[in-house]
Amino acid sequence: MPRPIRASIDLEALRQNYVIARNKAGQAKAYAVVKANAYGHGLANAIQALGPVADGFALLDLAEARALREAGLTQPIVLLEGFFEPADLADIVALGLTPTLHSEAQLTLLERAALAAPIDVMLKINSGMNRLGFAGDALGATLARLRALSWVRSITLMTHFARADDEIGISTQMARFKTFTSGLDLPVSLANSAALLRFPEAAGQVVRPGIMLYGASPMPDLHSAEALGLKPVMTLSSEIIGVQTLSPGERVGYGGTFEAPGPMRIGVVACGYADGYPRHAPTGTPILVGGRRTRTLGRVSMDMLACDLTHLEEAGIGSPVTLWGQGLAADEVATAAGTISYELFCALAARVPVRVMEG
């Protein structure tokens, strides 16, 4: 018999979350961000759910872009980090992709390529995040070089916000972007999930929703996923596989980091860090047992973790456990573990069986 742990992926929830993003976008196109294997949810699942409805897609890897094309998708596909070597450009032409240009090195490669067919490009501007992108004072010269290339069909200007999810917001970066692009009549792509939900002035012509598609909040400190109308797409579940009774002073797990303050009953769950559950999740991280809320105890092991059953008299071996997802927001688990829902989703291990549901 297989271990009872599994991840369930709700395709209808993924579609519904995209519809929320699409409605928020207004007249702009909404390109679904499906990088990192669709944030750990499975690229094939994202194709099945979003292929018929998405305006376009954004990702990183050529292999993932090829998978979208081989699945029959004809929408625009943006490569968010562009290309890395000259050979990539032949694939970009063959697959009809839109690379992001963010460096002088990429621009030089594109100039030397003499492509056989025209491509669309996104030109990334560094408005203050200071990761990728051309400096604002280089924009004019960069555009002139791009416009001189007969194989560049269209140019969309883009940037990425560093603090759309907190109290600082986007005003400083928006002001810089507007200064840099003043007088240019070009489409723009600005908004990630947080900006799309909070700052309608950032919609532009193309928005790039990511984490919100998967049912987590891009700003859990300000608005929960539930308050935003988002539905969890991934539910990680398992079962109780062992029960222990503790006397006061007895300890739980490696290092004995949790000490029972009184008589306790604990359950052992078939889930550990080798399944993708965060090892650093402390005692008190919320989980559900039999649909009722309780907490983890002690250190997370490779294949198991412990939880408190003291107040759950009916729980025992075989009782269902929800680690995150339906009934327990991944954002809440992530916050307790000192991380973000993105990491929980992307860390799901290959050994965890996945069940795909249509709703």
Contact 135, 102 (CB under 8 A): no
How far apart, in whole angstroms, are the C-alpha atoms of residue 77 and residue 57? 5
Q: Which member of 35, 214, 277, 342 is catalytic?
A: 35
- List the structure tokens of 45: 């699942």
Establish whether 29 is a catalytic residue: no
* Beta bridge mates, 293: 288
Residue with tokens 């669709």: 38
Establish whether 254 is a catalytic residue: yes
The 10 Å Cβ neighbour count of residue 221 is 11
How far apart, in whole angstroms, are the C-alpha atoms of residue 56 and residue 33? 9
How far apart, in whole angstroms, are the C-alpha atoms of residue 72 and residue 68? 7
* Beta bridge mates, 294: 287
Contact 328, 287 (CB under 8 A): yes
Phi, psi of 200 (to 5 degrees): -60, -20
| Active site positions, annotated | 35, 254
